[in-house]
Structure 1
Amino acid sequence: MLKIAWSPIFAHPLPLGHRFPMEKYQLLPEQLMYEGTATEANFFAPELVEERWIVNTHESEYWEKLRTLSLSKSEIRKTGFPLSSELVSREVHIMAGSIQAAIYAIDYGIGMNIAGGTHHAFTNRGEGFCLLNDLAITANYLLENKLAKKVLIIDLDVHQGNGTAEIFQETPEVFTFSMHGKANYPMHKEKSDLDVELDDGMKDFEYLKLLDENLNQVLKTFTPDFILYQSGVDILETDKLGRLSVSIQGLRTRDNMVLDLAKEMQIPIMCCMGGGYSPQIKDIIEGHAQVYRLAQDIFF
């Protein structure tokens, strides 16, 4: 059975007019149940994990400042969110959801998180709507518990997974693969194990060709036994921050390629949602929803 991490806390209220589409975390599960892609049985509420899994990835000083709401105004501004205890709780639940979805993936081939993909969180700071790096924490959890030996992080959000790259600079057991806009945020890029930079306006054919070539090469040379997939939908032509021209059909082909390869190679995969900033919320929801449809079609 497809297991999907979700909690009402994911849809944390933000000030009116905030550009982050927080409502998608409520609308997406509603859409999946409305169309029959998922039922209540598919969803699970994340159970909190020990704090040591946070400080195993993030610096303890940073976690203490975050936990006690002691970040400076500058540090808060870089995250893009107003800091509160409720927000911190949200981030902790998201991280726990990714860990538990990954554990489900070992049994079912795939596990998913309605939120997550917080790839701009560094060891010692948060940036770009990311406070705790659920991808990195999950990878370290899998490795330390001997649930995986080699973890591949596939980050197809339009923005580079800079925090993830920084965290795993010297971790050969984790391969960071990021395909992202060359001229897009963040302007200063970190060095992933493989960075594929995309020109503004790139369309389906060139995008999918680059993904096919690079992903197959990484799978062949790194030979992972677990995949963490950041499936951001901000590559869409409708996205106001993405600067690419990938269609909804191209997005579906992208997700199908990743999930199909994982299934074919029998590599467990945990999929989290990442970014999406199309002006029409329906475009964001449709972009995210199709990866769940594909998961059901391919794995079950």
Structure 2
Amino acid sequence: MREMFWVRPGYESVLAALGLDSLDAVFAWSAGQRMDKPGLEGWRQRWRITLPDGLGYGYLKRFTHPPFRRQAQRWLSGAGRLSTAGIEWRNARQLADAGIAAAEPIAFGQEMAGVWERRSFILLGEVAGQSLERWLPVHLPAAERDPYKQARRKRLDRLAHFVARFHHAGFVHRDLYLSHIFMDAAGADEAGEGKFRLIDLQRVFRPRWRRRRWVVKDLAALNFSTPPERVSARERTHFICRYVRDCGYGGSVRRLVKDVEIKMRFIARRHERPRADERDGQRDQYNEV
């Protein structure tokens, strides 16, 4: 058996105070708030933890004896030596190295038997703010009724720049819906703009081939999850144009817009549009694995 236990520098005392200073301790622990939802497979667990010293909350994901199909997915992705939690940990660190704001890992551990995952966990820090899926219906009126046109355009441009930087760094996200991008309006920068961060990092990867296919899928997922009554067709086209400029995309903008629309219609046929008011209230951050 091979074990790995990593703690973010400076958080050793935090883990010790919580009694989470070893792999066995993490899997024996049960003092937080369970956040499982109906239908969650038994090998997965989610917990919300109150961190000491006013550090806010942490979100713990535990995985025990993943089924063969999940193991095979890791092997086929080329991550045979990394566990389910290990993939998210690696992605978080790679995003940080690339300067892409995302959920930050506090601790990670795994127990492997060769390429077979026995158990793994990751503890993530809470992401400030709320998902754009929840923020947008409350704070963004329809374009024709919004008196703050300049601020609206600026915010749209900032989001396009954030997604462009993410893609330019070589990453894509299998589910880049508004629910997986958080905005911290309270922690705005000097220009008064909220800061964006990614969550559900398990879904992030760097494609080796057919990269454009995944970029189109990301942009289509964003488009699909954006309520049409809040963001106009003209604004959506502007978003793509700004994205192309910031990303350094070398292809036809018109073709990209068309391909995104085609993919969005495909997504719409397969899924009902997600609605924030129908979710269970715990969906905001670490309800996905």
Question: Larger Rg: 1 or 2?
Answer: 2
